[in-house]
Amino acid sequence: MAPKIKYTKLFIDNKWVDAASGKTFDTYNPHDGSVIAQVAEGDKADINLAVQAAKRAFHRNSEWRLMDAAQRRTLLHKFGDLIERDLEYLAELESYNNGMVLNDARRFLNTAVESTRYLASLADKIQGDTIPLSGEVFSYTLKQPVGVCGLILPWNVPILMFISKVVTALAAGCTVIVKPAEQTPLTALVLAALLQEAGVPAGVVNVVNGFGVGAGTTLTHHPDVAKISFTGSLEVGKLIQQAAGANNLKRVTLELGGKSPLIIMNDADLNVAIPTAAFGVFLHQGQICIAASRLYVQSGIYDKFVQGAVKFVKERIVGNPTDSSTQQGPQIDGEMMNKVLGYIEKGKKEGAKLLTGGNRIGTTGFYIEPTVFADVTDDMTIAKEEIFGPVQSIIKFETLEEVIDRANNTNYGLSAGIFTSDLNNALQFSKHVEAGTVWVNTYFVFSSQAPFGGFKDSGLGRENGPNCVDAYLEVKTVTIALPKKF
């Protein structure tokens, strides 16, 4: 009952083509590790072709550049409608190639449709300013698309990341080359087909699957690419920032990792805090950049919270992603699974108290038990490094002032949260914590209206929110001599 895989080639200039080398690579189902398709493997030659197409499609006299902003908006809305039409198929394919629980995939797809509609609506709201410049002049700004953009996607939420980057870039009037993660090459190809169906002119959207070293590095070093947007690890993010100064000067947006602190104050409502904290670190098997991976619980309710957290997690159902009762599926692949298990071992070795989970489940696929450590301290590896797996680390604290400093004592800064009923606690914490998104009495609430991105090493720039197209635009000031008197 597996979803049919319709597209496995590269999508360049609105055509399905083999890789120049003829090579393909396997892609898998994380539920059992089986190979589900062979996908065209793009490399330098293919990226060069794609960039050439995108550059041609960006020329000032191209069909795409001659469209009104409103026409772009309409086209992108149509794309949103097509995603909605094919939502079930896309969710099944995402789950099949990613291991995402099918119910979660459907939720993410609904978010993707909403997101497409929001971002599409920004296309004809791009405004410059008329400026009261001193002198005998008339001055104004134009905001113009930056050019050819390389969009490099992560494997954890492939469809949502495709939408977030591609629709923003297109709303701004840019042309794009998408390099999906090598673990999850399939859904991007289906979305490209839908964009073509929506009427996107040839060369505006190109999808080249392949590996980081090869397709990815060619893209991040290509002298005709004006901008890179990347979501993934900090390690690779730094390489991309370095590459942005290697040939031409590239504009860079980065959405990287996190080690997000979630604070539970003594006056928190534990009936909400416990499930939300669990959701915050176990959703999608912990494979989310904003996972609430450091759980600071105030001493007054510490024992009660730990007890409740363990009980909650023990009831979590791990199983086949397509099962409607499943709450947790497999990790993406063997490498990540082993990495997570390695962190669990470190946690035990460094003296954290393992209260539930800690082991691999079964011998096929990449399943790990939801795991809870308590009495974790800030210097432990599991409290400092991003695990990207279903591991909750509970840490005790005394005062708000202390926990703000401990929460900020990291190079990351993607998100943070606090549970409290006290007004001052809520406002002080949200003001002082160094994180791009702060949740109060909730976690993971996401929607396109709100800017998203990292402080410090968690990233550069913001996606979503009404100004998100700015990262894909250049500001031009025009100043025309105009005498004050006729």
Partner 1 sequence: MALEIKYTKLFIDNQWVDSASGKTFETYNPHDGSVIANVAEGDKTDIDLAVRAARRAFHRNSEWRLFDAAQRRNLLNKFADLIERDTAYLAKLETYNNGMLLASSKYFIASCVDNVRYLASLADKVQGNTIPLSGEVFSYTLKQPVGVCGLILPWNGPVMMFLWKVTTALAAGCTVVVKPAEQTPLTALYLASLLAEAGVPPGVVNVVNGFGETAGAALTHHPDVNKISFTGSLEVGKLIQKAAGTNNLKRVTLELGGKSPLVIMNDADLNAAVPYAANGVFGHQGQICVAASRLYVQSGVYDEFVKRAVEYAKNIKIGPPNDASTQHGPQIDETMMTKILGYIEKGKQQGAKLLAGGKRFGNNGFYVEPTVFADVTDEMIIAREEIFGPVQSILKFETLEEVIDRANDTEYGLSAGIFTSNLNTALQFSKHAEAGTVWVNNYLTFGPQAPFGGFKNSGIHRENGSDCLDPYLEVKTVTIALPKKVPRA
Q: Residues with catalytic annotation?
A: 255
Among 6, 314, 353, 476, binds partner 1 (CB under 8 A): 476
CB of 68 to partner 1, least distance (A): 14
Over the window 133 to 152, marking each residue x when it contacts partner 1 by CB under 8 A and - when it does not, the resulting string is xxx-x-x-xx----------
Q: Which helix (H) or strand (E) holds 393?
A: strand 391-397
Nearest residue (CB) to partner 1, 135 versus 351: 135
Nearest residue (CB) to partner 1, 452 versus 472: 452
Considering only 17-25, 92-100, 349-357, 474-482, which stretch makes contact with partner 1 by CB under 8 A? Answer: 474-482
Amino acid at 30: P
Among 5, 17, 20, 234, binds partner 1 (CB under 8 A): 234
Nearest residue (CB) to partner 1, 148 versus 192: 148
The partner residues of 261 in beta bridges, in order of sequence, read 294
Nearest residue (CB) to partner 1, 52 versus 430: 430
How far apart are alpha carbons 339 and 341 in whole angstroms? Answer: 6
CB of 80 to partner 1, least distance (A): 15
User: Binding of partner 1 at residue 280 (CB under 8 A)?
Assistant: no
Among 34, 38, 399, 477, binds partner 1 (CB under 8 A): 477
User: Binding of partner 1 at residue 268 (CB under 8 A)?
Assistant: no
Pairing state between β 10-12 and 15-17: antiparallel
User: Binding of partner 1 at residue 475 (CB under 8 A)?
Assistant: yes
User: Binding of partner 1 at residue 60 (CB under 8 A)?
Assistant: yes
How far apart are alpha carbons 31 and 10 in whole angstroms? Answer: 26
Residue with tokens 């004006």: 226
User: Binding of partner 1 at residue 474 (CB under 8 A)?
Assistant: yes
Nearest residue (CB) to partner 1, 376 versus 460: 460
Considering only 285-293, 298-306, 334-342, 468-476, which stretch makes contact with partner 1 by CB under 8 A? Answer: 468-476
Amino acid at 425: N
Instruction: Tell me how crowded residue 197 is: count the other CB atoms within 10 A of its CB.
Output: 13
CB of 466 to partner 1, least distance (A): 8
- Residue 107 CA: distances (Å) to CA of 29, 90, 157, 306, 441: 20, 12, 11, 29, 21
User: Binding of partner 1 at residue 239 (CB under 8 A)?
Assistant: yes
How far apart are alpha carbons 370 and 472 in whole angstroms? Answer: 40
Interior angle at CA 317, CA 312 and CA 323, nearest 5 = 150
Among 240, 372, 376, 394, binds partner 1 (CB under 8 A): 240
Answer yes or no: are the C-beta atoms of 106 and 149 closer than 8 Å: no
How far apart are alpha carbons 288 and 101 in whole angstroms? Answer: 14
User: Binding of partner 1 at residue 462 (CB under 8 A)?
Assistant: yes
Answer yes or no: are the C-beta atoms of 444 and 280 closer than 8 Å: yes
CB of 195 to partner 1, least distance (A): 25
Among 97, 294, 453, 472, binds partner 1 (CB under 8 A): 453
Q: Is 337 exposed, middle or buried (0-12, 13-18, 19+ CB in 10 A)?
A: buried
Residue 130 backbone phi and psi in degrees, to 5: -95, 140
Under rule CB under 8 A, how many of the chain's residues touch partner 1?
66
Residues in region 395-434 near partner 1 by CB under 8 A: 411, 426, 430-432
Nearest residue (CB) to partner 1, 88 versus 129: 129
User: Binding of partner 1 at residue 38 (CB under 8 A)?
Assistant: no
User: Binding of partner 1 at residue 303 (CB under 8 A)?
Assistant: no
Taking alpha carbons only, the member of 449, 414, 453, 438 closest to residue 115 is 449
How far apart are alpha carbons 373 and 348 in whole angstroms? Answer: 9
Over the window 152 to 191, marking each residue x when it contacts partner 1 by CB under 8 A and - when it does not, the resulting string is ----------------------------------------
Among 1, 445, 485, 486, binds partner 1 (CB under 8 A): 445
User: Binding of partner 1 at residue 452 (CB under 8 A)?
Assistant: yes
Q: Is 101 exposed, middle or buried (0-12, 13-18, 19+ CB in 10 A)?
A: buried
Taking alpha carbons only, the member of 210, 209, 261, 259 closest to residue 233 is 259
User: Binding of partner 1 at residue 456 (CB under 8 A)?
Assistant: yes
Instruction: Tell me how crowded residue 140 is: count the other CB atoms within 10 A of its CB.
Output: 14
Over the window 97 to 136, marking each residue x when it contacts partner 1 by CB under 8 A and - when it does not, the resulting string is -----------------x--------------x-xxxxx-
CB of 141 to partner 1, least distance (A): 6
Nearest residue (CB) to partner 1, 87 versus 137: 137
Nearest residue (CB) to partner 1, 43 versus 457: 457
Q: Buried b vs exposed e over 293-320: b needs ≥16 C-beta within 10 Å? A: bbbbbbeebbeebbebbbebbeebebbb
- Residue 186 CA: distances (Å) to CA of 8, 25, 98, 288: 7, 12, 10, 20
User: Binding of partner 1 at residue 485 (CB under 8 A)?
Assistant: no
Interior angle at CA 17, CA 71 and CA 239, nearest 5 = 80
Q: Which helix (H) or strand (E) holds 39?
A: strand 34-40
User: Binding of partner 1 at residue 481 (CB under 8 A)?
Assistant: yes
- Site for partner 1, rule CB under 8 A: 60, 114, 129, 131-135, 137, 139, 141-142, 226, 234, 237-246, 248-251, 254, 256, 411, 426, 430-432, 435-442, 445, 447, 449-453, 455-457, 459-460, 462, 465-466, 474-481
